[in-house]
């Protein structure tokens, strides 16, 4: 049994820079398509999702271009309807929901808990193929006339329009399984695959974030699956559950849809919280404030997130009693979210802050997510929402959460783990410029939309009244800046793959396992020896335990103190359940 | 091998549980022919829940299993309850906003118009109660306004 | 299917003498692998429960709105056939539980017999279901838009408003449940073949156990469907 933990002879971290790693130990195309290595699956997902984000992002720029003038500027109304529908569907179902778990979760999570792989590697690969099947069905939907229902597919309209709806609902049904597989895999991995000494209180907070996310994925995604099946049956067999002309109830569809799609918001934002905790702790060189509160508030958000879906339906004709109940519970969500933000700020306090690009993204997140959260509380107020429902205020609110929250955190996380994924450093100066452009561009795009919405500009229209022109043009200009920033990121990321400086094993001086115990480019099996965890993930204050030796002895390059590796676990498996 | 994951259920237990399940099936069919009125649904669902509990605890051996599996299953069941309960909070009170059919909207508008007309018949002086109701500039209206204010 | 993909033994990369053939390289012990597979299966089961939950919600809501319709429509279902099917499915649950019992005691033959019996019972369930479906189709009791009841005791439903909703829910619920029975039959068949080939013993029987869990869940869903659709 003893040799199970070390299969092949592998390079010692930091000793052989050019040794065997997860990228070069097999190089054929088939080795990538049939890989069961969680790191390679993460990379596969990364490339796929980048393409989806590019496509959906370009659609967003096209929409903003159309809205640069009050009349019809470059496309017909029907085309605009299809463009915003595709933007929403691709961004939500095919990009944001899988994004952080599938890319960074896959890549980082097993390393952070000291495992060789996720619990079910084959299921993990299956998840990617299922996702591709879903993406293919999405393309079929486009070929069959597209979708103009918005990403919500509200009945009865979705029953009457376009042949693409059938394909698109199938696509969402199929792509849902990819998320279920990932979530299921992570829960089991976190429960059963932790290295010796990795207690629940020593889990990095990214892992806690992924754990909460996975719970939501497993519990909520099946419901969107069956909802989509019922919608398909409604179209094919006229089952009359949702169609009022057959005696059905369209509001019931909205219940089903939002029972998934509201928790899906937490599927998108909880991993971002996890990344934030990593970034803030590492780049302020201080122990995270309120570890337990941050960890448990993620789980609390995951659970509370199931009780609030009705706040999307305040003006849909649901009963006022349930609107009041849902509105009240919605306020509760503010509590755990607030706990997190306060704890991050408290971590920054008296920390030794190192303003690298990932940290700039983290600080952007704090600002943008706070706006997203506060506007969320506002639209959670029943009477206010009646005024703001279906206006640009809502559009702006969820972009502040989804893009200002999730995408900014994803960008921060990608920069942070980029050296581990590619073995190269990105260009720090360009990184900072891009982060700045994205922050400014984002606010320029979406802050005017808050004002527009409050003034009554409805969402999902290609044209608008003249009095909204200035604000819309400001927003369109902002989207240009945002686009430049994002393309700059893409540009220097690709550039760094070939020309970037070689990354050391732990460029940030972080204290979690993927930095301290894994080579610059990870070994195919992550660890040479399974580590034995003896301290928490952010115990920078215990200098001797974390950095080894006395003060100032273990300085790395750039004057950075790099934490010691965790010791290897004893060879006998010492885990007792 | 530890006991918690690999508990071997005795054959006798399995057969006893099976007997219980068959008994409950017969019972629920028999009870369906008894006129219970409003109790029919809870009784039928209660018997079904008992049967399901038997299957989960013994056939699926959750009673002897790792507690985390039991927790998983419980959370799943709680979510189903949440789904049903919160949806039914809506459907049970649907329409408590009043009738919002298009026809009655027209009637409501006509009523509002009538009320407005009635309101217009009230002399505007009587409706002035706060200082803000009086024009700031002491122009042509000033005399009348101050006259009201005095009275 | 989670059961198919994650637990089949992988070719081992190291030829170590005390390394069991079924143990995948990233697990430390058989115990860890078994526990992981089982937790994974329970998670999969709750996704199944939530998949069915939406249909239960639809049932609850429409029953709440149209109770008389549901009473009238459920009276047209064949209680005898439903009861027989319930007993058939409960028995199949017993046989699958027994198959696990026997494999744990290394009695592979008895395990295979019980799996075979489960398959036969599941097939019987589907046959009875087929007769129920066809008798409804003959009288025009189709789901939703095609609902056009005539003949027998279905004729009276023509005047009952929202009766088509009941049959939509009936066919969707039993249809998706039937689909699960068919998938279960395929998996049980596969497990039985592997047991026949000698893949399982008291040391390694994870696929048998997980298939059993899945089959019991299918049974549980039916335990609820039966009174909801046939009795009340």
pLDDT tens-place string over residues B29-58? 999 988 888 888 999 999 999 999 999 999
> Which residues from B are below 8 Å from C43, CB to CB?
72
Residue numbers of the domain that contains C171: 29-231
The pLDDT of residue B100: 57
Task: Name the pLDDT band for A10 (thresholds 50, 70, 90).
Answer: very low
- Sort C225 into a burial class: Cβ within 10 Å, 0-12 / 13-18 / 19+: buried
pLDDT at A400: 96
A237 or B128, which is more confident? A237
Report d(CA A252, CA A234) in Å as an integer.
13
Distance CA B28, CA A183 (A): 39
ipTM for the assembly = 0.90
CA atoms within 13 A on the CB side of C192: 19
Total tally of structural domains belonging to chain C = 1
Read off the pLDDT band of A7 (50, 70, 90): very low
Portion of chain A with pLDDT greater than 90, in percent: 75
Check residues C5 and A344 and name the one with the higher pLDDT. Answer: A344
Rg of chain A over Cα atoms, rounded to whole angstroms, equals 24
Q: Is the pLDDT at A260 greater than 70, yes or no?
A: yes
Pure H helices in A381-512 = 382-388, 392-401, 408-422, 428-454, 469-499
Q: Chains A and B: how many Cβ contacts under 8 Å? A: 54
For residues A224 and A231, what is the distance between their CA atoms, to the nearest angstrom? Answer: 10
Give tens-digit pLDDT for A15-55.
444 578 898 888 899 999 999 999 999 999 999 999 999 99
The per-residue pLDDT for A566 is 85
- Which pLDDT score is estimated for A26? 86
pLDDT in tens, C110-146: 999 999 999 999 999 999 999 999 988 888 888 877 7
Tell me which chain A residue has its CA closest to the CA of residue B5.
A577
Radius of gyration (C-alpha) of chain C in whole angstroms: 21
In this prediction, residue B131 carries a pLDDT of 65
- Which of the residue ranges A4-8, A279-283, A532-536, C110-114 would you say has the lowest mean pLDDT? A4-8
How far is B67 from chain A, CA to nearest CA, in Å? 12
Separation between Cα atoms, residue C216 and residue C222, nearest integer Å: 10
Q: In whole numbers, what is the pLDDT of chain A averaged over residues?
A: 90
Cα(C61)–Cα(A332) distance, rounded to whole angstroms? 27
Considering only the beta carbons, identify the residue of C32, C47, C162 that sits closest to A180.
Answer: C47
Q: How far is A296 from chain B (nearest CA, A)?
A: 16
Tell whether the model's pLDDT for residue C3 goes beyond 70.
Answer: no
Q: Which residue has the higher pLDDT, C210 or A569?
A: C210
Higher-confidence residue of A550 and C223: namely: C223
| pLDDT value of position B127 | 64
**Closest CA–CA distance from residue C150 to any residue of chain B (Å):** 26
Chain A CB contacts of B94 below 8 Å: 251, 317-319
Q: Is residue A309 less than 8 Å (CB to CB) from chain B?
A: yes
* pLDDT value at B134 more than 80: no
C residues 150-169 near A, CB within 8 Å?
161-162, 164-165, 168-169
Interface test with C, best of B10, B15, B20, B29 (most C CBs within 10 A): B29
**Which of B90, B101, B105 would best serve as a mutation to test chain A binding (most A beta carbons within 10 A)?**
B90
- Average pLDDT value for residue range A421-439: 95
A569-573, B47-51, C180-184: lowest mean pLDDT where? A569-573
Q: How far apart are CA B30 and CA A538, in angstroms?
A: 64
pLDDT value of residue C142: 81
Domain for residue C4, yes or no?
no
* Confidence band of B133 (pLDDT split at 50, 70, 90): low
Query: Which pLDDT value is given to residue B1?
Result: 40
Q: Per-residue confidence at C2, pLDDT binned at 50, 70, 90?
A: very low
Residues A366, A345 contacting (CB under 8 angstroms): yes
Q: CB atoms < 10 A from the CB of B122, how many? A: 9
Domain ranges for chain B: 7-60, 66-92
- Nearest-Cα distance to chain C for B18, in Å, is 7
Is there a contact between C231 and B44 if contact means CB atoms under 8 Å apart? yes
- What per-residue confidence (pLDDT) applies to A548? 67
Q: Decide if C45 and B47 are in contact by the 8 Å CB cutoff.
A: no
Q: Do A7 and C13 touch (CB under 8 A)?
A: yes
Q: What percent of chain B has pLDDT over 90?
A: 44
Give pLDDT, residue B30.
Answer: 93
Could you tell me where the beta strands, DSSP code E, fall in chain C?
none
Are A4 and C25 an interchain contact pair (Cβ–Cβ within 8 Å)? yes
pLDDT at A564: 83
Nearest by CB to A322, which of B68, B75, B89? B89
Question: With 50 as the cut, is the pLDDT of residue C7 above it?
Answer: no
User: What is the distance between the terminal CA atoms of chain B, rounded to a whole angstrom?
Assistant: 97
Give the pLDDT mean for C170-196: 95
Q: What is the pLDDT of residues C8-27, one digit of tens each?
A: 343 334 444 456 778 888 88
Q: Does the pLDDT of residue A348 top 90, yes or no? A: yes
In this complex, the residue of C18, C61, C164 whose CB is nearest that of residue A247 is C164
The pLDDT value given to residue B109: 76
Q: What is the pLDDT of residues B77-120, one digit of tens each?
A: 999 999 999 999 999 888 776 655 555 566 777 888 888 887 77
Give the model confidence (pLDDT) of A367-404 as tens digits: 999 999 999 999 999 999 999 999 999 999 999 999 99
Which residues from B are below 8 Å from A223, CB to CB? 83
Residue A493: what pLDDT? 95
Average pLDDT of span A482-496: 96
Q: Write down the pLDDT at residue B132.
A: 66
| Range with lowest mean pLDDT among A73-87, A331-345, C147-161 | C147-161
pLDDT exceeds 60 at position B26: yes
CB count within 10 Å of CB B118 equals 9
User: What pLDDT sits at residue C138?
Assistant: 86
Residue A5: pLDDT band with limits 50, 70, 90 = very low
By C-alpha distance, the chain C residue nearest B76 is C46
Kindly list the residues from chain A whose CB atom is less than 8 angstroms away from the CB atom of residue B73: none
CA pair distance A80, A62, nearest whole angstrom: 9
Domain assignment of residue C16, yes or no: no
* DSSP-derived 3-state class of residue B15: helix
Whether residues B59 and C79 touch (CB distance < 8 A) is answered with: no
pLDDT at A554: 43
pLDDT over 60 at A274, yes or no: yes
Across the interface, whether the CB atoms of A225 and C35 are under 8 A apart is answered no
Q: List all residues of chain C from 174 to 213 with a beta carbon under 8 Å from chain B.
A: 212-213
Chain A residues 166-225 with CB within 8 Å of chain C: 180-181, 184-185, 187-188, 191-193, 218-223, 225
pLDDT tier at A358, thresholds 50, 70, 90: very high
Q: Work out how many CB contacts closer than 8 A connect A with C.
A: 147
Rounded CA separation A211/A301 (Å): 12
- Our CA-based measurement puts residue A513 at a distance from the nearest CA of chain C, in whole angstroms, of 17
- Is the domain spanning A37-559 CATH 3.40.50.300? The answer is no
Apex A54 CA angle, A124 and A363, nearest 5: 85
pLDDT at B60: 92
Tokens of C33: 């692998």
Measured CA to CA, the distance from residue B66 to residue A223 in angstroms comes to: 27
Q: Which CATH number characterizes residue C186's domain?
A: 1.20.120.80
pLDDT per position as a tens digit, A295-323: 999 999 999 999 999 999 999 888 888 99
Whether residue B18 and residue C39 make contact (CB cut-off 8 A), yes or no, is: no
Q: Mutate which of A247, A249, A254 to test chain C, going by most C C-beta atoms within 10 A?
A: A247
Structure-model confidence comparison of residues C142 and C181, the more confident one: C181
- Find chains touching chain C: ≥3 CB pairs under 8 Å: A, B
The dihedral through the CA atoms of B86, B88, B93, B95 has a sign that is positive
Question: Are the Cβ atoms of B55 and C93 closer than 8 angstroms?
Answer: yes
CB contact under 8 A, A237 and C146: yes
* CB of C199 closer than 8 Å to CB of C92: no
Residues C143-151, mean pLDDT to the nearest whole number? 78
* pLDDT digits 0-9 by tens, A180-238: 999 999 999 999 999 999 999 999 999 999 999 999 999 999 999 999 999 999 988 88
Which of A242, A263, A321, A575 is the best residue to mutate to test the B interface, defined by the most B CB atoms within 10 Å of its own CB?
A321
pLDDT at res. A15: 44
Average pLDDT of C85-114? 94
Give whole-number Cα distances, B63 to A68, B9, B54, B70, B78, in Å: 64, 11, 10, 8, 18
pLDDT of residue A237: 87
B29·C43 Cβ contact <8 A: no
Pairwise CB contact (< 8 Å): A255 & B90: yes
Of B60, B65, B83, which has the smallest distance from its Cβ to C57's Cβ?
B83
């Amino acid at each position: 049994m003893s040799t199970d933990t070390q299969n092949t002879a592998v390079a010692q971290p930091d000793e052989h820079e050019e040794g065997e790693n997860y990228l070069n130990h097999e190089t054929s195309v088939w080795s990538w398509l049939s890989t069961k290595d969680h790191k390679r699956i993460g990379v596969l997902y990364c490339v796929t999702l980048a393409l989806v984000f590019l496509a959906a992002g370009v659609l967003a720029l096209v929409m903003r271009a159309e809205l640069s003038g009050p009349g019809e500027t470059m496309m017909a109304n029907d085309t605009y309807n299809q463009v915003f529908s595709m933007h929403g569907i691709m961004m939500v179902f095919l990009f944001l929901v899988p994004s952080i778990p599938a890319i960074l979760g896959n890549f980082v999570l097993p390393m952070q808990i000291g495992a060789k792989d996720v619990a079910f590697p084959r299921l993990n690969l299956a998840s990617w193929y299922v996702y591709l099947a879903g993406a293919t069905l999405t393309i079929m939907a486009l070929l069959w006339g597209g979708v103009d229902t918005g990403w919500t597919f509200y009945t009865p309209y979705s029953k009457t329009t376009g042949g693409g709806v059938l394909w698109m609902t199938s696509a969402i049904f199929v792509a849902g399984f990819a998320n279920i597989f990932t979530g299921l895999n992570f829960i089991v991995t976190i429960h059963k695959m932790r290295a010796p000494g990795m207690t629940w209180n020593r889990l990095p907070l990214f892992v806690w974030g992924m754990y909460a996310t996975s719970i939501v994925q497993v519990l909520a995604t099946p419901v969107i699956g069956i909802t989509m099946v019922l919608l398909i049956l409604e179209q094919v067999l006229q089952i009359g559950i949702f169609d009022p002309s057959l005696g059905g109830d369209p509001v019931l569809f909205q219940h089903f849809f939002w029972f998934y799609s509201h928790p899906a918001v937490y599927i998108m934002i909880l991993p971002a919280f996890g990344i934030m905790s990593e970034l803030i702790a590492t780049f302020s060189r201080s122990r995270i404030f309120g570890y337990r509160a941050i960890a448990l508030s993620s789980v609390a958000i995951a659970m509370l997130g199931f009780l609030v879906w009705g706040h999307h339906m305040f003006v849909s004709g649901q009963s006022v009693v349930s609107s009041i109940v849902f509105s009240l519970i919605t306020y509760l969500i503010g509590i755990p979210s607030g706990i997190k933000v306060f704890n991050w700020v408290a971590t920054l306090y008296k920390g030794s802050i190192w303003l690298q690009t990932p940290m700039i993204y983290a600080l952007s997140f704090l600002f943008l997510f706070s706006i997203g959260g506060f506007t969320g509380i506002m639209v959670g107020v029943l009477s206010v929402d009646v005024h703001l429902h279906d206006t640009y205020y809502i559009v702006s609110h969820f972009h502040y959460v989804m893009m200002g929250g999730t995408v900014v955190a994803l960008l921060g996380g990608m920069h942070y783990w980029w050296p581990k994924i590619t073995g190269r450093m990105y260009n720090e100066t360009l990184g900072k410029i891009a982060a700045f452009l994205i922050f400014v561009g984002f606010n320029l795009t979406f802050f005017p939309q808050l004002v527009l919405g409050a003034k009554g500009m409805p969402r999902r229209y290609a044209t608008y009244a003249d009095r909204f022109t200035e604000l819309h043009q400001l927003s369109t200009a902002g989207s240009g800046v945002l686009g430049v920033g994002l393309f700059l990121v893409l540009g220097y990321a690709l550039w760094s793959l070939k020309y970037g400086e070689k990354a050391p094993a732990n460029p940030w001086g972080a204290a979690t396992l993927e930095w301290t115990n894994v080579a610059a480019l990870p070994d195919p099996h992550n660890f040479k020896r399974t580590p034995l965890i003896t301290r928490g993930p952010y115990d920078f204050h215990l200098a001797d335990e974390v950095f080894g030796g006395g003060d100032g002895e273990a300085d790395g390059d750039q004057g950075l103190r790099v934490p010691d590796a965790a010791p290897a676990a004893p060879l006998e498996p010492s885990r007792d359940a | 091998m530890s006991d918690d994951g690999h508990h071997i259920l005795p054959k006798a237990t399995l057969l006893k549980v099976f007997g219980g399940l068959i008994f409950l099936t017969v019972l629920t069919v028999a009870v369906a022919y008894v006129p219970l009125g409003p109790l029919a649904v809870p009784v039928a669902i209660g018997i079904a829940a008992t049967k399901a509990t038997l299957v989960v605890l013994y056939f699926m051996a959750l009673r002897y299993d790792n507690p985390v599996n039991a927790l998983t299953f419980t959370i799943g069941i709680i979510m189903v309850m949440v789904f049903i309960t919160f949806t039914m909070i809506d459907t049970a009170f649907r329409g408590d906003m009043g009738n919002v059919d298009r026809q009655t909207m027209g009637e409501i508008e006509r009523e509002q118009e009538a009320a407005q007309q009635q309101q217009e018949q009230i002399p505007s002086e009587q409706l002035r109660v706060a200082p803000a109701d009086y024009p700031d500039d002491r122009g042509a209206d000033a005399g009348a306004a101050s006259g009201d204010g005095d009275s | 299917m989670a059961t198919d993909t994650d637990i089949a033994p992988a070719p081992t990369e190291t030829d170590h003498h005390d390394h069991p053939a079924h143990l995948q390289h990233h697990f430390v012990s058989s115990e860890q692998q078994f526990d992981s597979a089982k937790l994974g299966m329970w998670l999969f089961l709750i996704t199944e429960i939530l998949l069915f939950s939406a249909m239960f919600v639809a049932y609850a809501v429409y029953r709440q709105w149209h109770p008389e319709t549901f009473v009238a429509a459920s009276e047209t279902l064949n209680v005898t056939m439903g009861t027989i099917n319930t007993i058939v499915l409960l028995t199949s649950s017993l046989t699958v539980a027994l198959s696990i019992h026997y494999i744990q005691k290394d009695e592979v033959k008895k395990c295979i017999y019980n799996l075979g019996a489960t398959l036969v019972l599941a097939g019987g369930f589907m046959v009875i279901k087929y007769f129920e479906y066809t008798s409804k189709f003959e009288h025009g009791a189709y789901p939703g838009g095609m609902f056009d009841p005539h003949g027998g005791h279905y004729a009276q439903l023509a005047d009952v408003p929202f009766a088509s909703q009941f049959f939509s829910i009936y066919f969707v619920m039993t249809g998706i449940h039937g689909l699960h029975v068919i998938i279960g039959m395929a998996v049980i068949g596969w497990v039985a073949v592997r047991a026949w080939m000698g893949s399982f013993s008291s040391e390694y029987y994870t696929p048998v156990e997980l298939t059993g869990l899945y089959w019991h869940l299918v049974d549980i869903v039916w335990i609820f469907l039966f009174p909801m659709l046939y009795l009340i």
